[in-house]
A and B are shown apart, each in its own frame.
Chain A
Amino acid sequence: MILKIADLESGYGGSRVLRGIAFSVAEGESVALLGRNGMGKTTLLRSIMGLLRAARGTIRFAGQRIDGRRPEQVARTGLAFVPQGREIFAELTVEENLLLGAMGAGGLGAAVPEDIYGRFPILRERRAQRGGTLSGGQQQQLAIGRALAGRPRLLLLDEPSEGLQPSIVIEVAEALKREAAEQGLTLITVEQNVDLALRVAERCLFIENGSIVAEATSAELRHDPALIHKHLAI
Chain B
Amino acid sequence: MDQALLLLLDAANYILVIVLVAMGLVIVFGLMRVINMAHGELFLLGAYTLVMLQQAGVSYWWGLIAAPLLVGLVGLLMEELVIRHIYHRFLDTILATWGLSIAIKQAVILLFGPGAQSTSAPFAAQLDLLGTPYPAYRLFIMAVALLVVAGTFYLFFRTRFGLAARAVIANRQTAACLGISTRAFDRATFAYGAALAGLAGAVMAPIMSVDPQMGLGFLIPAFLAILVGGAGHLGGPVLGAGLIGATDSVTASLWSPVLAQVVVFTMAVVAIRLFPSGILGGGRK
Contact = CB atoms under 8 A, between A and B. Distances in A.
Interface of A: 49, 51, 70-72, 75-76, 80-81, 83, 87, 89-92, 96, 99-101, 103-105, 108-109, 146-147, 150
A91 B174 contact: no
Contacts of B132: none
Given A71-B173, A89-B171, A103 B182 contact: no
- Of listed B163, B167, B177, residue having the most chain A CB within 10 A: B177
A72 B180 contact: yes
Contacts of A81: 177
Task: Report, nearest first, the 5 A-B pairs whose CB atoms are least far apart.
Answer: A104-B179, A104-B178, A75-B179, A71-B176, A108-B160
Given A100-B167, A104-B179, 20 more contacts: A51-B176, A71-B173, A72-B177, A72-B179, A75-B177, A75-B179, A81-B177, A87-B173, A87-B174, A89-B171, A89-B174, A92-B166, A100-B175, A100-B178, A101-B178, A103-B178, A103-B180, A104-B175, A147-B178, A150-B178
B161 A89 contact: no
Interface residues of B, number: 19
Nearest to B283: A91
Contact of B160 (A51, A87, A103): A103
Contacts of A101: 178
Contact of B180 (A49, A83, A100): A100
Contacts of A83: 174, 177
B164 interface: yes
Nearest to B166: A92
Nearest to A97: B167
Given A72-B179, A76-B179, A150-B179, A108 B174 contact: no
Given A96-B163, A100-B164, A72 B171 contact: no
A109 B174 CA distance: 20
- Of listed B167, B170, B171, residue having the most chain A CB within 10 A: B167
B164 A75 contact: no
10 contacts: A49-B177, A51-B173, A72-B179, A72-B182, A75-B178, A83-B174, A92-B166, A100-B175, A103-B163, A150-B178
A92 B164 contact: no
Contacts of B161: 108
B181 interface: yes
Contacts of B180: 72, 100, 103-104
Contacts of B163: 92, 96, 99-100, 103
A92 B181 contact: no
Secondary structure of the B contact surface, majority rule: helix
Contact of A72 (B160, B166, B170, B176): B176
A109 B160 CA distance: 8
A147 to B, nearest CB: 8
B175 A92 contact: no
Contacts of B175: 100, 104
Contact of A92 (B167, B178, B182): B167
A43 to B, nearest CB: 15
Contact of A89 (B160, B167, B181): B167
A147 B170 CA distance: 17
A100 B173 CA distance: 13
A85 to B, nearest CB: 10
A109 B163 CA distance: 12
Nearest to B173: A51
Contact of B178 (A70, A109, A146): A146
- Of listed B167, B170, B179, B180, residue having the most chain A CB within 10 A: B179
B154 to A, nearest CB: 15
Contacts of B174: 83, 87, 89
A108 B173 CA distance: 18
Interface in B2-53: none
Interface in B145-183: 160-161, 163-164, 166-167, 170-171, 173-183
Contacts of A99: 160, 163
Contacts of A70: 176, 183
A51 B171 CA distance: 13
Contact of B177 (A51, A96, A103, A108): A51
A51 B183 CA distance: 15
A105 B176 CA distance: 11
Contacts of B176: 51, 70-72, 75
Nearest to B170: A89
A89 to B, nearest CB: 5
A97 to B, nearest CB: 9
B258 to A, nearest CB: 42
B81 to A, nearest CB: 20
Nearest to A109: B160
